[in-house]
Amino acid sequence: MTRKLLAEVNISEGKDRQLIDAVKDALLREGELSLIDLNSDADHNRTVFTYTGIPGEVLAGTKRLVRKAIELIDMTAHHGSHPRMGAVDVVPFVPVDGVTVQEACGIARDFGAWLGSMGVPVFYYEECATRPERKSLVHIRKGEYEALPEKMAQEEWMPDEGPRAFVAKSGATVTGVRFPLVAFNVNLGSSNLAVGKQIVKAVRGATGGYKNVRAIALPVGEKGNVQISMNLVNYRETPIHRVFETIKSEAAGHGVSVTGCELVGPVPLAALEGVIKHYLRVHSFSMNQVY
> Which three-class secondary structure state does DSSP give residue 266?
coil
Using alpha carbons, list the distances in angstroms from residue 276 to 14, 154, 165, 240, 290. Answer: 32, 48, 49, 11, 12
> Which three-class secondary structure state does DSSP give residue 38?
strand
> Which three-class secondary structure state does DSSP give residue 206?
helix
Distance CA 124, CA 134 (A): 7
Distance CA 108, CA 142 (A): 22
Classify residue 275 as exposed, middle or buried by CB count within 10 Å of its CB (0-12, 13-18, 19+): middle
Catalytic residue among 79, 82, 139, 241: 82
286, containing H or E segment: none
Annotation says 139 is catalytic: no
Using alpha carbons, list the distances in angstroms from residue 200 to 146, 235, 259. Answer: 23, 18, 17
CA geometry: angle at 197 spanning 262 and 175, to 5°? 60
Active site residues: 82
